[in-house]
Amino acid sequence: MRKVAGKIMGWGEMSTARHQLRERGLSLVFTNGCFDLLHVGHVEYLQFAREQGDRLLVGLNSDASVRRAKGASRPIVPEGQRARVLAALECVDYVVIFEQDEPAELIAEVVPDVLVKGADWAHYVSGREVVERHGGRVVLADLVEGWSSTDIIARIQTADS
């Protein structure tokens, strides 16, 4: 049977969904990112994250937070469209857009059982303390070499000139 697409939710809705998951004994995995130009590296990363528990919540950086992190020319794809694409993936159960530079407040709100971040962030995982304090675990995911939105944009710009 085909999964119904993931849900794009606000923080309050996600808090309610989190409570319901706990009541049902289901674990919640959290990861986050910009996911500007979705590529195979993102898909493998999200599938890996989903395998760490029963449901996957993706915290999606808002357009403003992407600009602060990546510069004025980003994101390429607006947050509403990025959220819809992520929610359509079979491995993604929930998408919540956050405005902050990092997802610490959202993580503190939903307190996931598992927090997944790319191994390139091993030096600092936002929300680690909250998750571990509540008995959860942090998992670092290997990245697919040669794939990043920044690299794709650079290749497009090079091909265009």
Domain annotation for the chain: domains and CATH numbers: 7-160 (3.40.50.620)
Question: Phi, psi at residue 6, to the nearest 5°?
Answer: -60, 165
pLDDT in the model for residue 1: 40
Q: Are 66 and 104 in contact (CB under 8 A)?
A: no
* pTM across the whole model: 0.90
Q: Rounded mean pLDDT of the chain?
A: 91
CA pair distance 27, 129, nearest whole angstrom:
18
How many whole angstroms separate alpha carbon 102 and alpha carbon 154? Answer: 25
Mean pLDDT of all residues in 36-54:
94
The yes-or-no verdict on residue 147 having pLDDT over 70 is no
What is the Cα Rg of the chain in Å?
15
**Contacts (Cβ under 8 Å, ≥6 apart) of 16:** none
Q: What is the mean pLDDT of residues 59-85?
A: 96
- Residue 17 is predicted with a pLDDT of 96
Q: What is the pLDDT of residues 12-39, one digit of tens each?
A: 999 999 999 999 999 999 999 999 989 8
